């Protein structure tokens, strides 16, 4: 796949799935701008990528603040005169039972997982409409399909991501803007990699493909959905979970 000189913005791009997605698009010749939550994590990720021979730019806007996000998006467009792909990967999870979840906790996860996504999309859409083309990809989750036993805020937010994705696919299709989501299963992020075997092995047993997913599996899905090979695909929630069931 060749994304030569296409401008790609990736939120949550400093670690895990996001960082691997940054690598994947850089390796396919895209001009990548990663967003992170803190100046130090953005700087550290940029330095790590530089040591690997990958050059990217980075910002750390508060994604829950539209004015701040809009300012950065306008700065990026002003520099490149086009924004081709937006990948909304920033997010947080939750696992506490509802009795231990405060209204503030619930609002926080909805703000970071849904409002932040809304803000970045709202900021880029005027430019994509002007170009009459664009791709918006969102990170959902397998729990948006199956739910989960505890931490209701996380699946609630991911159900919202799916609704946002499907609705905007309809709204933006006349402007040649495609909107899709990837719903990862259990992925070998740093947190999962630290889990003991007695926790990991039962999870693997539930996955028909017999393994936990790698961040690159999700990055590859983003690559496909962003490419011209997916030019007739929009409004899709693509499960990348080894056929696992929660």
**111-139 pLDDT, tens digit each:** 999 999 999 999 999 999 999 999 999 99
Q: Are strands 85-88 and 177-184 parallel, antiparallel or unpaired?
A: unpaired
Q: Enumerate the domain spans of the chain.
A: 7-240
What lies within 8 Å, CB to CB, of 78 at 6+ separation is none
Does the domain spanning 7-240 belong to CATH 3.50.50.60?
A: no
- For each of the chain's 246 residues, which pLDDT tens digit applies? 889 999 999 999 999 999 999 999 999 999 999 999 999 999 999 999 999 999 999 999 999 999 999 999 999 999 999 999 999 999 999 999 999 999 999 999 999 999 999 999 999 999 999 999 999 999 999 999 989 999 999 999 999 999 999 999 999 999 999 999 999 999 998 767 777 888 788 889 989 999 999 999 999 999 999 999 999 999 999 999 999 865
Q: What is the rounded CA–CA span in Å between residue 246 and residue 230?
A: 28
Helix (H, G, I), strand (E, B), or coil: what is residue 103? Answer: helix
Q: Which residues of 196-225 are buried (b: 16+ CB within 10 A; e: fewer)?
A: eeeebeeeeeebeeeebbebbbbbbbbbeb
Given 60, 154, 175, 232, which residue is catalytic? Answer: 154
154 is catalytic: yes
């Amino acid at each position: 796949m060749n994304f030569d000189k296409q401008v790609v913005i990736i939120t949550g791009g400093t670690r895990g799935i996001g960082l691997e997605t940054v690598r994947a698009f850089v390796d396919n010749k895209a001009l990548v701008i990663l967003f992170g939550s803190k100046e130090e994590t953005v700087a550290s990720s940029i330095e790590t990528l530089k040591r690997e021979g990958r050059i990217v730019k980075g910002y750390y806007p508060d994604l829950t603040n539209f004015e701040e996000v809009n300012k950065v998006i306008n700065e990026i467009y002003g520099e490149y005169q086009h924004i081709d792909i937006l990948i909304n990967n920033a997010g947080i999870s939750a696992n506490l039972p509802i009795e231990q979840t405060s209204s503030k906790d619930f609002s926080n996860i909805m703000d970071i997982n849904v409002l932040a996504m809304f803000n970045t999309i709202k900021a880029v859409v005027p430019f994509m409409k002007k170009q009459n083309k664009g791709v918006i990809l969102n990170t959902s989750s397998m729990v948006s399909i199956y739910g989960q036993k505890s931490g209701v805020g996380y699946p609630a937010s991911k159900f919202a991501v799916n609704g946002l994705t499907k609705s905007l696919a309809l709204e933006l299709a006349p402007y040649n803007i495609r909107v899709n989501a990837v719903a990862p299963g259990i992925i070998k992020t740093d947190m999962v990699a630290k889990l003991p075997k007695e926790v990991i092995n039962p999870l693997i047993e539930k996955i028909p493909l017999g393994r936990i997913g790698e961040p690159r599996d999700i990055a590859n899905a983003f690559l496909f959905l962003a490419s011209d090979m997916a030019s007739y695909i929009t409004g899709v929630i693509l499960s990348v979970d080894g056929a696992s069931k929660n």
